[in-house]
Amino acid sequence: MITDLDTNIRELSEIYDENSLDTYISIYLSKNSLDNKFLEKREKACKSILKDEILKNFIETMEEIKDILKKHKNENIAIFASNKNNFFKTISLPIKIKNSLIVDSSPYIRPLARVHDEWESFTLVLLSSNYAKIYSISFGKIDFAKNLSKDIMNKHKKGGCSQARFQRLRKCAIHSFLNEVIEALEKVADKQIILAGPGTTKKQFQEMLPKHLNDRIVDVLDISIDDEKELLKQSVRLISVKEQQKSHESLTQLKEEILKEGLAAYGFDDTLQAVKNGQVELLIVQKDYKIKGWVCEHCQVVRKGKVHKCPSCENMVSEVDVIEEILEFAKRTDAEIEFVDDPEIDNLGHVGAILRY
């Protein structure tokens, strides 16, 4: 599910038109939002400002959006649409999202990028010597689960050769079962894996894992095989803490690169230039911060401030949040995006990047 979201964000980031009169409506709505006045209020406000062709496209697009929303009333949903461009894309989200309606020259992807960054998917393996359950967790909820089990002999209580032979057979059966679990894990493993269960089987399993899977393990939890509900809670909390640590580490790395004049850019102008050049490996953005500016869709010039025509080509420009434009350039070039909520990013111009070269 997270992978699908990343693909959708990338596709949306590549949509823009050279005609400044073309507009897209981006709507984010939580469940049952049609029952309140949000959409009506935003639609009225936009109609009072838009004119001519843009207003006509807005009205026609909104009519189609309302038909779509009737079918998705009980969902958290994102819709990106333009009647003029014959473009309609609907994305169902498994978590609540802040209601918003944005009219812009391209789809507004920032809320989706935030969701993708803050709700990383992971794989959870609950394991004992004869039972395993592999969960895929997206947005804090179980996406799917796979059960594996095997009849394995209980411990032999008699002594002598009989006991030794029995224990060898038992160990062989456990080893065979754990290999089955590894094969199943290979097919579904995400970038992060949490290993959990009672006893010492977890350690044996981890020692058997190939390096590329072992390197993805972020924690090992001791927990009863029957306490799946508590395990899920612990795992989601753990991944949330890991995400906070990742944000802090990203900002620390950026500062270190700046101090040694390394592979870093910071501030609006330098970061924009780097991301347009495809140099950015990791884009670091202050949460919720916006910078008013403009974009010329014809020549892709982006600047802060306000003008009516592009100084480079004399075409009409569109008013935008220039941070959104930086995000779109980043997704087009496969850069990772990290949103941070740390006052130290203020001093660096609210946006920065770790560079590829």
Question: Does residue 139 share a domain with residue 207?
Answer: yes
Strand order in the sheet with 87-93: 87-93, 76-82, 24-29, 100-104
Q: Are 319 and 292 in contact (CB under 8 A)?
A: yes
Output the pLDDT for position 90.
Answer: 94
CA angle, residues 30, 36, 37, in degrees to nearest 5: 115
- Shared domain check, 134 and 77: no
Neighbour-count burial of 164, counting CB atoms closer than 10 A to its CB (0-12 exposed, 13-18 middle, 19+ buried)? exposed
Whether 85 maps to a domain, the answer reads yes
In a domain, 299, yes or no: no
- Which of 213, 243, 273 delimits the end of a domain? 243
Q: If you average pLDDT over each of 75-79, 95-99, 164-168, which comes out highest?
A: 75-79
Tell me which residue range forms the domain holding 227.
122-243
**What does the pLDDT read at residue 174?**
87
Taking the C-alpha atoms of residue 287 and residue 271, their distance in angstroms, rounded to an integer, is 16
The yes-or-no verdict on residue 158 having pLDDT over 60 is no
71 vs 73: CA distance, rounded Å: 6
Task: Assess whether 36 and 136 both reside in one domain.
Answer: no
**Lookup result for tokens 């819709």:** 79
pLDDT-derived band at 223, boundaries 50, 70, 90: confident
Cα angle at 261 between 260 and 264, to 5 degrees? 110
What does pLDDT average to over the chain?
88
Whether 357 has a pLDDT exceeding 90, the answer reads yes
Structural domain contains residue 287: no
168 located within any domain: yes
Task: Please check the confidence at residue 185 and state whether its pLDDT lies above 80.
Answer: yes
pLDDT at 133: 92
Q: Based on the domain organization, do 146 and 191 belong to the same domain? A: yes
Residue 22 has φ and ψ, to the nearest 5°, of: -80, 135
- Provide the sign of the torsion angle of the four alpha carbons 346, 236, 94, 37, taken in this order: negative
Residue at which a domain ends, from 243, 258, 273? 243
Instruction: State which of 198, 221, 243 marks the end of a domain.
Output: 243
Nearest-angstrom CA–CA distance, 284 and 211: 30
pLDDT exceeds 90 at position 45: yes
171 and 145 in a common domain: yes
Query: In this structure, are 239 and 135 located in the same domain?
Result: yes
Report the CATH number that the domain containing residue 214 is assigned in CATH: 3.30.420.60
Say whether both 92 and 194 belong to one domain: no
Average pLDDT of span 307-333: 90
Q: What pLDDT band is residue 236 in, cutting at 50, 70 and 90?
A: confident
Which residue reads 């906070």 in tokens? Answer: 244
Q: What does the pLDDT look like over 1-11, one tens digit per residue?
A: 555 888 999 99
Cα end-to-end span (Å), the chain: 31
State residue 313's pLDDT score.
87
Q: What share of the chain in percent tops pLDDT 70?
A: 92
- Same domain? 41 vs 138: no
Structural domain count, the chain: 2
Cβ proximity of 302 and 295 under 8 Å: yes
Question: Is the pLDDT confidence value at 71 over 90?
Answer: no
Residues 139 and 233 in one domain: yes
pLDDT above 60 (res 160): no
In a domain, 142, yes or no: yes
Model confidence at 297: pLDDT above 90: no
Mean pLDDT in residue range 155-175: 69
| Same-domain check for residues 126 and 235 | yes
Instruction: Pull the structure tokens for residue 246.
Output: 């990742």
Q: What is the mean pLDDT of residues 173-183?
A: 91
The answer as to whether 135 is a domain residue is yes
**Do 162 and 66 sit in the same domain of this protein?**
no
Together in a domain, 89 and 145? no
**In this structure, are strands 24-29 and 193-197 parallel, antiparallel, or unpaired?**
unpaired
The model's confidence at residue 178, banded by pLDDT at 50, 70 and 90, is: very high
* DSSP string computed for 288-330: T---EEEEETTTTEEEES--SB-TTT--B-EEEEHHHHHHHHH
Gap between the Cα atoms of 183 and 326, Å rounded: 41
* 302 assigned to some structural domain: no
What integer is the mean pLDDT of 306-311?
Answer: 88
Banded model confidence at residue 300, pLDDT cuts 50, 70, 90: confident
Is 189 contained in some domain? yes
Confidence tier at 74 by pLDDT (50, 70, 90): confident
